[in-house]
Chains A and B, each alone.
Chain A
Amino acid sequence: GQNIDQPTEMTATEGAIVQINCTYQTSGFNGLFWYQQHAGEAPTFLSYNVLDGLEEKGRFSSFLSRSKGYSYLLLKELQMKDSASYLCAIMDSNYQLIWGAGTKLIIKP
Chain B
Amino acid sequence: GAVVSQHPSWVICKSGTSVKIECRSLDFQATTMFWYRQFPKQSLMLMATSNEGSKATYEQGVEKDKFLINHASLTLSTLTVTSAHPEDSSFYICSASGQGLDHQPQHFGDGTRLSIL
Contacts and interface: CB of A to CB of B under 8 A. Distances in A.
Report if A and B associate in a common complex.
Answer: yes
Interface of A: 31, 33, 40-45, 48, 87, 89, 91, 95-97, 99-102
Contacts of A97: 46, 105-106
Interface of B: 6, 42-44, 46, 49, 91, 93, 103-106, 108-111, 113
Contacts of A42: 6, 93, 108-111
A43 B108 contact: yes
Nearest to B111: A42
B105 A87 contact: no
A91 B43 contact: no
- B49, B93, B113 interface centre (most CB from chain A within 10 Å): B93
Q: Binding site of B, secondary structure by majority: helix, strand, loop or mixed? A: loop
Given A33-B105, A48-B103, A91-B105, A41 B43 contact: no
B104 A45 contact: yes
Contacts of B109: 42
Contacts of A31: 103, 105
Contacts of B104: 33, 45, 48
A97 B34 CA distance: 10
B43 A99 contact: yes
17 contacts: A33-B105, A40-B111, A42-B6, A42-B110, A43-B93, A43-B108, A45-B104, A87-B43, A89-B105, A91-B105, A95-B105, A96-B49, A97-B46, A99-B44, A99-B46, A100-B43, A101-B43
